[in-house]
């Protein structure tokens, strides 16, 4: 039995999901052998999943999205590091109910990458998602040695909106260690930097951006790419249109400028976490996340787990807080059946704080349906 589920956002971490599912299964089948492999798709929770898989956790003080110091972590095993931008520049680091769509910076994410290099990493998996930022990775690049100036020769301010004032860029002092590092951008989105499907238009509203803010940010990021083209040539505009450039407010673009290769987040994370050998040992796979919906089908963890399991001929069931996919869609994704907590408690106000006990109950149902 393999439990390979993502977090239930707002209620349970992926590790807690695995613990509760295991407890529920064993209530029906005492002594059942259960292997837990918490998974993530590159967004928030990626470092925690790596630590659960045996990586060491390293903490460092970095600059948060609005400039305050925060404690962020990356995961390291041997010379492979898993770095999660949300640890340094994520929405969860903002004060409750507060957004900073125009001014939030990814500077701390650059500091986190530098810390991973300092720790000896020669392979860096950079998970992006859950960001508070829309600065095109400019803050991250500045932390790694890039310089961005306005017309008066002064450094531009933090955040995406300030890039409208960008007059020149100097990337010659970027940390040279990236030239010798395998740097992989892990993301579940393939959006370009700007335009109707770009970072500001698609994800800006989630970060508090008004329609006017979206227009401001989109124009500023387009200008940013144009200025970078003057500094480093046509690859700056080519990369802006590349899949993944719009990930996490455009930090994907910054990573591509650093030489990163783009890989779908869940596909890469399953490799890093050692999913294939765990899958080989499994008879049944339980995956899941907080909401199984249309977004799940587009690169989210349960879809990746189910695809890999189906390819290996293993049966998959899913647990979730809410279910918004019909059985035929689940089946097409490789999931035989889903067990939503909402079937036991339809009121989210009660379900979310009680997700743990509810999850044990649905796991017991899985054991009765598939194991007893």
Rounded distance between C-alpha atoms, residue 30 and residue 117, angstroms: 45
Which residues make up the CATH 3.90.1510.10 domain(s) of the chain? 46-266
What pLDDT shows up at residue 10?
87
DSSP H helices in 76-196: 85-89, 107-118, 138-143
**Which pTM does this prediction carry?**
0.91
pLDDT of residue 218: 98
Helix axes 211-232, 247-257, angle to 10 degrees: 0
Q: What tens digit of pLDDT does each residue of 174-192 get?
A: 999 999 999 999 988 889 9
In this prediction, residue 9 carries a pLDDT of: 87
Residue numbers in the chain where pLDDT is lower than 50 = none
Contact 63, 87 (CB under 8 A): no
Q: Which tens digit of pLDDT belongs to each residue from 249-274?
A: 999 999 999 999 999 888 899 999 99
Sign of the torsion angle spanned by Cα atoms 19, 21, 25, 27: positive
Q: Classify the phi-psi angles of 145: left when phi > 0, otherwise alpha if psi is within -120 to 50, otherwise beta.
A: left
Which stretches of the chain are DSSP H helices? 14-28, 46-52, 85-89, 107-118, 138-143, 199-203, 211-232, 235-240, 247-257, 265-273, 275-281, 301-311, 327-332, 348-351, 355-370
Predicted pLDDT of residue 220: 98
CB burial class (10 A; 0-12, 13-18, 19+) of residue 341?
A: buried
Write the CATH number of the domain with boundaries 2-37+279-370.
Answer: 3.40.50.10350
Tokens of 90: 């994520």
Q: Give the pLDDT confidence of 69-115 residue by residue, as tens digits.
A: 999 999 999 999 999 999 999 999 998 889 999 999 999 999 999 99
| Predicted pLDDT at 142 | 98
Q: Other C-beta atoms within 10 Å of 178: how many?
A: 18
Q: CA geometry: angle at 27 spanning 24 and 33, to 5°? A: 80
Looking at residue 299, its pLDDT comes to 80
DSSP symbol at 154: P
Return the pLDDT at 216.
98
CA distance 3 to 302: 11
- Stretch(es) of the chain classified as CATH 3.40.50.10350: 2-37+279-370
Q: Which CATH class is domain 46-266?
A: alpha beta
């Amino acid at each position: 039995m393999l439990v390979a589920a993502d977090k239930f956002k707002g209620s349970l971490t992926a590790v807690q999901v695995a613990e509760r599912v295991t407890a529920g299964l064993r209530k029906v089948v005492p002594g059942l052998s259960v292997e837990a492999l918490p998974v993530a798709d590159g967004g928030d929770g990626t470092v925690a999943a790596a630590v659960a898989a045996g990586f060491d956790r390293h903490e460092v003080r970095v600059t948060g999205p609005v400039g305050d110091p925060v404690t962020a972590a990356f995961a390291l095993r041997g010379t492979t590091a898993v770095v999660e931008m949300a640890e340094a520049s994520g929405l969860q680091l903002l004060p409750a109910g507060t957004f900073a769509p125009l001014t939030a910076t990814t500077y701390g994410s650059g500091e986190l990458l530098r810390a991973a290099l300092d720790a000896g990493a020669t392979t860096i998996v950079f998970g992006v998602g859950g960001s508070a930022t829309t600065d095109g990775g400019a803050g991250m690049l500045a932390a790694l040695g890039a310089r961005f100036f306005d017309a008066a020769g002064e450094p531009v301010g933090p955040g995406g909106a300030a890039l409208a004032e960008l007059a020149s860029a100097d990337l010659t002092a970027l940390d040279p260690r990236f030239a010798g590092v395998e740097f992989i951008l892990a993301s579940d989105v393939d959006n370009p930097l700007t335009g109707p499907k770009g970072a500001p238009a698609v994800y800006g509203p989630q970060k508090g951006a008004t329609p006017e803010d979206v227009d401001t940010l989109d124009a500023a990021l387009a200008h940013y790419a144009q200025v970078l083209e003057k500094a480093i040539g046509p690859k700056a505009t080519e990369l802006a249109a590349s899949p993944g450039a719009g990930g996490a407010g455009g930090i994907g673009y910054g990573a591509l400028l650093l030489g990163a290769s783009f890989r779908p987040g869940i596909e890469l994370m399953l490799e890093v976490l050692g999913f294939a050998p765990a899958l080989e040992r499994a008879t049944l796979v339980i995956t899941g996340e907080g909401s199984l919906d249309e977004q799940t089908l587009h690169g989210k963890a349960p879809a990746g787990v189910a695809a890999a399991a189906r390819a290996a001929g293993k049966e998959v069931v899913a647990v979730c807080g809410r279910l918004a996919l019909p059985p035929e869609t689940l089946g097409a994704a490789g999931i035989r059946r889903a067990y939503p907590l909402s079937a036991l408690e339809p009121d989210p106000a009660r379900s979310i704080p009680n997700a743990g006990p509810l999850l044990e109950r649905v796991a017991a149902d899985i054991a009765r349906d598939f194991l007893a």
